[in-house]
Amino acid sequence: HLLPMSPAGPAAALSALSIGGGSEAVVRGELIDAGDGGVRFAALRRLRWGTPILTERPLLLLEPDLDRYLRAEDADPRFAELAEALGDSSRLAAYVAFRQLHERKQKEFLGLWREDLEASDPVAKAIHEANRRGIEAFLEDHPQFRQSIYWNHVILVSSIFGRFGQVNTDGSKAIYSICSHIRHSCKPNAAWFTLRKGFPRGKRMLHVISLDGIQRR
């Protein structure tokens, strides 16, 4: 669901390049303070039915075939052993995919988990706590793996996917700088289409579906 135009206007809008959309990106909205410690995506102006609101490439795309991260020819052999011992390939594969990002993108990804997020978002707090306890219990039972990787990042990456991850129809999971903040609505005024083939995979286009459009607040 897209909120009506923000009273703050376009000053806080993210640029097309800042969300990885490239020069062809469309950005007709902005992330604003929702007043409950979270953020919401709001329209910059009145939008008519069918108008593209946003195009965005995924910040991180996790392919459904997790072996490509854990058992690839050039993969660290410890990953497959860790995944088998952990009994959960998805969390470790997400961590490996995160490590493949450029350092700047890694910082942007981790920045989704704001310092005050858990204090204002009980769902995020519960997800992080469950991941933390699960990893701590695993390391107590398997102390030989404690120094293998940076487990704090495993916990954080898993938590970000748990709170902000979007599941695509092809089974892939993705994190988006903006689209990950757009929540389901029983009375939606916007919908998105996800690119499943071609490049970049997982790119999303958000467009207006309300016949009345999206009005000024």
30 strand-pairing partners: 42
Looking at the chain, the whole-number percentage of residues with pLDDT higher than 70 is 63
pLDDT digits (tens, 9 = 90+) for 47-58: 666 677 777 889
Q: What is the pTM of this model?
A: 0.74
Tell me, what's the pLDDT at 23?
Answer: 37
Among 77-91, 93-107, 140-154, whose mean pLDDT is lowest?
77-91
Three-state DSSP class for residue 131? helix
The CA radius of gyration of the chain, in Å to the nearest whole number, is 19
Q: If we measure between CA atoms, which residue out of 63, 50, 60 comes closest to residue 20?
A: 60
Which pLDDT value is given to residue 21?
42
Q: Which residues contact 207 (CB under 8 A, 6 or more apart)?
A: 50, 51, 52, 53, 190, 191, 192, 193
